[in-house]
A = this chain, B = another copy of it.
Amino acid sequence: MRVPLINRSHTSPVPPTIYDVAERANVSTATVSRVFNNQTRVANATRERVLKVADALGYSPHISAQNLALQKTSLLAAVVPFETDFFYAQVMRGMQDALFDSDFDLTIYLAPEKRETKGQLERALQPGRADGVVLLSAELSDAQAEMVRASGQPLVLVDTHHSFFDSISVDNDEGAYDAVQRLLAHGYQRIAHITVAPEAPAPARNRRLGYEQALREAGQPVDPELVVYSTSYPFGFMEEAGYEAMQHLLALPELPDAVFACSDVQALGALQALRDHGLRAPDDVAIVGFDDIHTSRHVGLSTLRQPMREMGKLAVQKLLQRIAQPARTPSKTVFAPEYIARSTCGTAASSEATAAAIAL
């Protein structure tokens, strides 16, 4: 039964310090410290006495003080763009997976505005804030990269690249190219693309490029009418954006027969627009997304799977490696997206896709 040292009502108790323990145990703070860390070099009797006092007092080392003395934080920072995106949720789960094997915890630095990852990055880089940072979906200018390097903080990029740092991403061009090529091979003639803004971040941009390349290689010029950018939601992947874009396509004099959406989220919105017009996928218009979020499987959406969780896990593993060995040469990991043919693309005969098609 421990008696709080101070407990005036409405005064939150003040935790005991190493001095309190040292005093009550008749030893110096150095000894207490040794007991709690440096397990060796303490007489058994002393150790037990210290431990007993510490327990009675409810002592626990003050982390900020430890951090300062040890020049570390045991914290990793994740700088995440502001978007209700399933991608980030999954990547973060993966990061947590990898964290289990370490003594680090994760602090989230969520960008306050659409694209303002920059401020949060600077914050995360401040000395004494974290021991390393994972930066998601943010392209680094050379100036920024130099700033990061100057800060001395280990950093890993997810979804983008820079020669200074470890990076982990998926081959967006290739995935998009693959999907469109399959649609072409299956005989679709007018394949539209739903994307975000032309100046969108790399992943979306590269998916568009993959789409364009597949068309060109098939001898089809890119029809600007069939590439619909989102004006209302220029950056994030939003269902509403997909919905609007699909409405736009449905208003065209000649309908597309297939749509490759930049993300599953947008594809879901497109699907909804289709339904609201009394149309269905793939019978009237085929639809393919990108990401393979949880919902996609349940609605039978064909898509390109991105190993989000693995990417997050690997990001943290790379970061931990770099903290341990700052001088390693940066690595670049690129995962290949996997085409998942379900019911909405009309090119599948897999049982999964059939089951989904029967769904409701």
Contact = CB atoms under 8 A, between A and B. Distances in A.
Interface residues of A, number: 64
A10 B65 contact: no
- Report which residue of A10, A67, A99 has the largest number of chain B beta carbons within 10 angstroms of its beta carbon: A67
A281 B359 CA distance: 9
A209 interface: no
A343 interface: yes
Interface stretch (A166-174, A212-220, A249-257, A293-301): A293-301
A65 B343 CA distance: 57
A119 to B, nearest CB: 12
Given A62-B128, A105-B107, A360 B150 contact: no
A63 interface: yes
Interface in A1-59: 2, 4, 9-10, 12-15, 58
Interface in A262-277: 268, 271-272, 275-276
A66 B295 contact: no
Nearest to A123: B105
A68 B150 CA distance: 25
Nearest to A70: B64
A115 interface: no
A358 interface: yes
A179 to B, nearest CB: 20
A329 to B, nearest CB: 11
Contacts of A221: none
Given A84-B93, A107-B107, A359 B127 contact: no
Nearest to A112: B100
Given A105-B109, A280-B360, A295-B298, 5 more contacts: A4-B150, A66-B128, A105-B123, A295-B295, A358-B360
8 contacts: A10-B326, A12-B326, A60-B126, A62-B128, A63-B127, A63-B129, A67-B128, A343-B360
Interface of A: 2, 4, 9-10, 12-15, 58, 60-68, 73, 75, 84, 86, 89, 93, 96, 99-100, 105-110, 112, 123, 126-129, 150-152, 268, 271-272, 275-276, 280-281, 294-295, 298-300, 326-327, 343-344, 355-360
